Amino acid sequence: MTRVACIGECMIELKQAEGGLFSRGYGGDTLNTAVYLARLGVEVDYITALGVDPMSDEMLAGWAAEGVGTSRVARLKGKLPGIYLIQTDEFGDRRFFHWRDNSAARSLMDLSETDDILESLATYDVVYLSAITLSIYSVPGRTKLIDALNCARKHGARIVFDTNFRARGWPDPDVARAVFDEAFAASDIVLASMEDLLPLYPDESDEQLMRRIPSSEAALKLLEPGSIVRFEGVSREVSAEPVPQPVVDTTAAGDSFSAAYIATRLEGAEPAEAAQAGHRLGGVVVGYPGAIIPRSAMPAKILPDRKASR
């Protein structure tokens, strides 16, 4: 069975509830993708670091209940998970407030078991990470991870990079652009969006942004519903289906897109079909508050009929 590794950070999530109160859950871009991958039937492990505390225990139990593997999660005494708070407006657009400077996940590249964890990447069929993943590590830590990705590729793993960009995670745009270039070069598939890339490359067109991505396969989500998919030199525009319900919260719309895209590609579908599946799942996710929708809300059908060859 195809195995996927997702690398990143999961945080305690506080989201708006009734009466000015907040409900508590958990989320993080690559963890959200891992959960949706598992729900779509993909064997997936999450690679991160957590503390030795009740909140971390709760996270691990929750991931295991979702079918996400936790054997590569490091546990650190004296560390805790980070926290983020989601504030949404009447249109479902969200703002994030983070408390994560000393979170356990930031130490993942600096542990005695780091080398073993990085060597294990070569045993997976797909390794998925995001720009947020790269932003939480030190410069030497990022170098270690990029080197490990290149090594994993030599052993046959496909690297998928999501351009999820949050300016507050980077010291300045020049550093982010340099790291993006390294990540692009180390990736087989890039899942990007205009929303992520325009702050780094202002005023560039979708064609210009796509030219910055050297991988043979890339999907660029547009500012209007839809995307452009490029595969082996051929580009195609993909329209998104109308969202079936009012938009409540856009958190994890991109993370679920990535999960459906990867799962559909692993089923043998063409990239355009994978993008359609991504838009379909993302359109459901935005109808619910928080990063992870109830399992009962998962659509019965995300993957397309197998009529097309890869």
Domain contains 307: no
305 is a domain residue: no
Q: How many domains does the chain have?
A: 1
303 within a domain of the structure (yes/no): no
Distances (CA, A) of 204 to 139, 199, 208, 262, 264: 28, 10, 6, 27, 30
Catalytic site includes residue 255:
yes
pLDDT, one tens digit per residue, over 277-292 is: 999 999 999 999 878 9
Q: Which residue has the higher pLDDT, 48 or 289?
A: 48
**Pair of tokens at residue 114:** 């780091």
pLDDT tens across 207-243, in order? 999 999 999 999 999 999 999 999 999 999 999 988 8
Q: In one letter, which amino acid is 11? A: M
Q: Identify whether 302 is part of a domain.
A: no
Which residues touch 305 (CB under 8 Å, ≥6 apart)? none
Choosing from 45, 101, 255, 305, the catalytic residue is 255
Share of residues in the chain with pLDDT > 70 (%)? 95
Assigned domain for 271 exists: yes
Render pLDDT for 140-196 as a digit per residue (tens, 0 to 9): 999 999 999 999 999 999 999 999 999 999 999 999 999 999 999 999 999 999 999
Give domain status of residue 308, yes or no.
no
- Say if 43 falls within a structural domain: yes
CA-to-CA distance for 139 and 246, rounded, in angstroms? 42
237-273 pLDDT, tens digit per residue, is: 999 988 878 888 888 999 999 999 999 999 999 999 9
pLDDT in the model for residue 304: 60
Structural domain span for residue 98: 3-297
Task: Establish if 17 belongs to a structural domain.
Answer: yes
Buried/exposed 227-243: b ≥16 CB within 10 Å, e otherwise: bbbbbeeeeeebebeeb
Segment 14-32 shows an average pLDDT of 87
Give the span between the Cα atoms of 195 and 210, in whole angstroms. 13
Which CATH number fits the domain that encloses residue 138?
3.40.1190.20
Per-residue model confidence as pLDDT tens digits over 184-202? 999 999 999 999 999 999 9
